[in-house]
Structure 1
Amino acid sequence: MIKKKKILILGNSHLVVFKFRGELIEELINQNYDVWVCFPNGPFGEGEETSKKYGCHFIEIKMERRGTNPLKDFLILKEYYSIVKKVAPDVVLGYTVKPDVYGGIVCRLLNISFIPNITGLGKGLDEKGIVQKITIALYKFAVKKSKCVFFQNDNDKHFFDEHGIGYQKGKILPGSGVNLSKYHVLPYPGDDEPIRFIYVARIMKAKGIDQYLEAAHIIKHKYPDVEFHICGFCEEDYKTILENKSESKEIIYHGLVEDISEFEKFSHCVVLPSFHPEGISNVLLEGAACGRPLITTDHSGCRETVDDGVTGYIVRQRDSEDLVDKMIRFIQLPNSERMRMGELGRKKIEREFNRQIVVNAYIKEIHSCE
């Protein structure tokens, strides 16, 4: 009997592994690979449960996604070493900063094929200082012998090249892609409905929440019927601000939402004024796949999703005035033009961001490791 090849997937959450890589896991299992996944479990044990549904094995690891405590990070490195030794995978796939860095270090030490995915530079690389210098040094060791480094945008690849983070082979993917069979075009709201903008993201400064709130405040005075919806978990201290603005009817805050399509159904436009170091924003990809125009920034990971003036608008980063201008421009369009923007956005996703492109690229690289 031929022994199955083992694939170990390292991530920082259930969402990162199964929502954005579920199709890859399914394809690997279909091709008779023995798939293992490793990430911090959620409060309801969904890691174990979802892994069983897919037919793969789950290993839990403790990890603070945004923590910078060196002792805790050393424990992650130590635990990864034990996990990799125990599983003895043929290939390891890494997603997000800590799995990429510490998983990469372990794989290099143990001479195991490693394929990291740079899902965004993260705060450690994006902001100059001692943390950036340490993170660059760690990446240099972690990815040097990787079989292939997958990037999600040109800017991130350029950063690695500019800072001497060497690798044997690098390729740019269309983000995580979108499963076009799951994200269908939703019926567009009618002429008689109030314009509804929707912001979907973690509630944090770098995702442009301040600019969105300021735009809502200004536009509400001129167009009182326009609605500004917000969906997301407060990762930073915005809870009181959102509660106050909800009471004054400037915004409608829905909290963390599991099925965002229910809110996209009644929305006219997805707005994300982010300057966070994204890979490619999945919120924008999914919004466009549903036939919704996008308004987002000229930041890497955002601008790639929009053809400016065709499928939505691109605004300057941290510029509330420009955001207000583009949102008002959108409000003043005939509804037929807004709908047309959404239709063209869907076609762009079909051409450029089909998740099958990503799956195929991974299968090719994994086969090359054999």
Structure 2
Amino acid sequence: MKILILTNYANGLYLFRKELVESFIKEGHQVVVSVPSDENCKKLEGLGVEIIETALDRHGMNPAKDIKLFNTYLSMIRKEKPQVVLTYTIKPNIYGAMAAKILKVPYISNITGLGTAIENGGMLSKILIKMYSSSLRRAQKVFFQNEKNMDFMQKHGIAKDNAGLLPGSGVNLTEHPFRDYPSEEDGIRLLAVVRVMRDKGIEEYLNAAKVVGGSNSNVHFELVGEFEEDERDKYEEQIKDLEKQGLLKYYGHLDTVEPVMAKSHVIVHPSYHEGLSNVLLEAAACGRPVLASNVHGCIETFEDGVSGMAFKSQDKEALIDAIKKMLALTKEQRSEMGKKGRKYIEDHFDRNIVINAYKEELGRL
């Protein structure tokens, strides 16, 4: 079987769906991936897939560019003649799914999150909902990563009869093993793993580093993640200033976050919205307590008060209060929260659950 995957970011596909792609290839399927060109495409090629470099503007709606993308998908599907098309992220889920529907090629879509445009409401939200309604109507399956997103779409008449719920992208429990809680002799390290952009809560995190780090010499803030280019100018100087003051350690982009996460004591995730947070899944798998926004896509990944703490999203003071509550616990209490988080992930978020769900859908073909 020839499988065509449409997505907007090579590294996201590699980090969170590598095992799924490998399972397809192991079973003898040919896998072709359409994705914007960047240095991460080589990782996918290393898995044995064919890459079709596809220009795609991840943010905003430019009618001329979006029509061009839709026509690109139409031409691509006609040329490649896949037996099934898998789509991830907003524009592939709309334009790629629509192209597959028109050409009567089976397609499976994955709603990894609703995105800011829909979350914020207004005219653009209404337009996107109508587009989703059209594009996903004939999908073999529409996978969602949290119940709130699924309920929202179904209330708008989308995927009422073809929806499925996945535990996010799941976690590879072998690649993300439990790590013993590290010594706190040199202080407590808080780590955020986010794209540097407003919607990931970077403003709240940098503020916490300044306020809490500035008044507690034994609390160290660390940050992993690449800049969202259209927001780089907002945050690059702030990050450099905090580094100069010794209040933040910024790693930039890392292909493998696990070694840094293993040396950390608490993972902080102040995101405004998520499909289902892979960072929080991996943090819990590692055995670390988490502090996360009380939004769907985050709260499903841990038990509040047991393996982590939730705080009000988009609220600088709420994040600072949550950090202080975590710091008020003993080392043993933080360590125990991490152990309980690992058990929760093992029971509910093994990545094999996701792989088996896709295998079942391919079996139906």
**What corresponds to 1:261 in structure 2?**
258
CA distance in 2, matches of 1:102, 1:76: 7
Q: CA deviation at 1:24?
A: 1.3
In the alignment, which residue of structure 1 is the partner of 2:350?
354
Aligned to 1:168: 161
The equivalent position to 1:306 in structure 2, one of 278, 294, 302, is 302
- Residue 131 of structure 2: which of 113, 131, 138 is its match? 138
In the other structure, the counterpart of 1:32 is 28
1:289 maps to 285
Partner SS for 1:197: strand
| Shift of residue 255, structure 1, vs aligned partner | 2.1
Q: Is the 8 A contact 1:173 1:358 kept in 2?
A: yes
* Distance in 2, Cα, partners of 1:220 & 1:53: 41
Residues 87-96 or 217-226, more deviating: 217-226
In structure 2, the residue matched to 1:343 is 339
Superposed, which structure 2 residues align to 1:82-93 within 5 Å?
82-93=75-86
SS of 1:178 mapped into structure 2: coil
C-alpha distance in structure 1 between counterparts of 2:54 and 2:343, whole Å:
39
Q: Secondary structure at the match of 1:329?
A: helix
Asked if the contact 1:272/1:296 (under 8 Å) is kept, the reply is yes
Q: What is the match of residue 323 of structure 1?
A: 319
Counterpart contact for 1:8–1:35, Cα < 8 Å = yes
Pair 1:214 & 2:207 matched: yes
Letter in 2 for 1:327: I
Three-state SS of the structure 2 residue aligned to 1:238 is helix
Q: Quick one: which of 87, 94, 101 aligns to 1:94? A: 87
CA distance in 2, matches of 1:154, 1:119: 12
1:110 to 103, 116, 134: 103
Residue 81 of structure 1 is aligned with which of 71, 74, 79?
A: 74
User: Which region of structure 1 is more displaced relative to structure 2, 344-353 or 324-333?
Assistant: 324-333
Do residues 228 (structure 1) and 221 (structure 2) align? yes
Shift of 1:223: 2.0
Unaligned runs of 5+ in 1: none
Q: CA deviation at 1:265?
A: 2.5
* Segment drifting more, 240-249 vs 177-186: 240-249
Q: Deviations over 1:97-151 (max 9, x none)?
A: 1111111100110111110000000122112222212211111110001011000
CA contact (8 A) 1:143 1:167 kept: no
Change (3 A) 1:234 1:54: closer
Partner residue in 1 for 2:328: 332
User: What secondary structure sits across from 1:283 in the alignment?
Assistant: helix
Aligned to 1:248: 245
Contact 1:145 1:167 in 2 (8 A): no
Q: How far apart, in 1, do the equivalents of 2:24 and 2:225 lie? A: 32
Matched, 1:17 2:10: no
- Runs of 4 or more, structure 1, over 3 Å off, are 49-52
- CA distance, structure 2, for counterparts of residue 230 and residue 215 of structure 1: 12
Aligned-partner Cα distance in 1 for 2:66–2:128: 12
TM-score normalised by the chain length of structure 1: 0.93
Deviations 1:12-57 (A, max 9, x none): 1112322211111121222222221111121x4x42x444432232
Moved more, 103-112 or 55-64: 55-64
Q: Is the 8 A contact 1:306 1:314 kept in 2?
A: no
Amino acid at match of 1:299: V
CA contact (8 A) 1:147 1:168 kept: no
- CA distance in 1: counterparts of 2:338 and 2:65, whole angstroms: 45
Q: Which residue of 1 aligns with 2:275?
A: 279
* Percentage of identical aligned residues: 38
Instruction: Give the Cα separation in 2 of the matches to 1:310 and 1:222.
Output: 27
Residues of 2 paired with 1:324 and 1:16: CA distance?
Answer: 30
- Residue of 183, 191, 196 corresponding to 1:190: 183
Partner Cα separation in structure 1 for residue 254 and residue 63 of structure 2? 33
Change (3 A) 1:298 1:51: closer
Which residue of the partner structure matches residue 66 of structure 1? 59
Number of aligned residues: 361
Residue-by-residue CA offset, 1:52-87 (whole Å, 9 max, x unaligned)? 432232211111111321100111100000110011
CA contact (8 A) 2:306 2:340 kept: yes
- Of 215-224 and 134-143, the range deviating more from structure 2: 215-224
Instruction: Assess if the C-alpha contact under 8 Å between 2:98 and 2:135 holds in 1.
Output: yes
In structure 2, distance between residues paired with 1:65 and 1:83? 19
Q: Report the equivalent of 1:56.
A: 49
Shift of 1:349: 0.9
Tell whether the 8 Å contact from 1:29 to 1:35 is kept in structure 2 after alignment: yes
TM-score w.r.t. the length of structure 2 is 0.95
Q: Write the distance in 1 (CA, Å) between the matches of 2:261 and 2:338.
A: 12
Unaligned runs of 5+ in 2: none
**Whole-Å separation in 1 of the counterparts to 2:49 and 2:238:** 43
